[in-house]
Amino acid sequence: MPGTTALHCVPRAPGALPGLGHLVQFVRDPLGFLDSLPREADLLAIRLGPTRLVMVCDPDLTRQVLVNDRLFDKGGVVYERGREIAGDSLITASHSEHRRLRRMCQPSFHPSRLAAYAVLMNEQITASADGWNDGQVIDANEQMTRLAVRMSLETMFGGALAGGIHDALRAGYRGTYAAPSAAWPVRQRSTALQPRRAHRNRAFAGM
């Protein structure tokens, strides 16, 4: 994240409103607003309310940000909220912790294992779909969350877990995935995530 001096050197995106910055443009048409930025500059500063952001609009610069994690380490409010919800993971971990976690997980993502994962995922998808009836109204978000949890647990642990542990992990994953991503950028809403974190922690503590 650039320092204060460097941030002032980055050109600002046009159309900012006093106090709101570019929030109105972003809310009205998020894709259109973001799509307009590369026409202005490779790097642009925008402001969403009180939050200042630097948008990287050039493919080569974007690659540098994604690849050079020593210089562009993960940080900021979104990642802080992510760590509060799910702890350190490959998505949220900082540079030093990410390397350790990646080495631990790397064997599981070897190409030779992907075909077996696809079979397990197809079985879970078929089992879920077979439980639906014609004309039945379902909660798509709930069903997809359950499906994602089952596929994650089956591919990571298979049938090696005792039923009680499997149920505890499922409850913990539900508590993690249930936290709304929309609440991450808003610090004031962090207290709303406490019950879900407590639910997840109780599930894992009971293993």
pLDDT digits (tens, 9 = 90+) for 40-81: 889 889 999 988 888 899 899 889 888 887 777 777 777 777
pLDDT digits (tens, 9 = 90+) for 94-138: 777 878 888 888 888 888 888 889 998 999 899 989 989 988 898
State the pLDDT at residue 171: 63
C-alpha angle 63-89-127 in degrees, rounded to nearest 5: 105
Q: Where are the domains of the chain?
A: 4-72, 111-205
> Which pair of tokens denotes residue 205?
């503590």
The pTM for the full model equals: 0.47
Question: Tell me, what amino acid is at 152?
Answer: S
| Mean pLDDT value of segment 147-170 | 69
**Tokens 């879970």, residue located:** 124
Comparison of pLDDT for 160 and 42, the residue scoring more: 42
State the pLDDT at residue 52: 87
pLDDT digits (tens, 9 = 90+) for 5-36: 466 788 889 898 998 999 999 999 999 999 99
State the pLDDT at residue 154: 80
pLDDT surpassing 60 at residue 89: yes
Closest CA to 75 of 50, 47, 60, 96: 96
Q: How far apart are CA 2 and CA 72, in angstroms?
A: 9
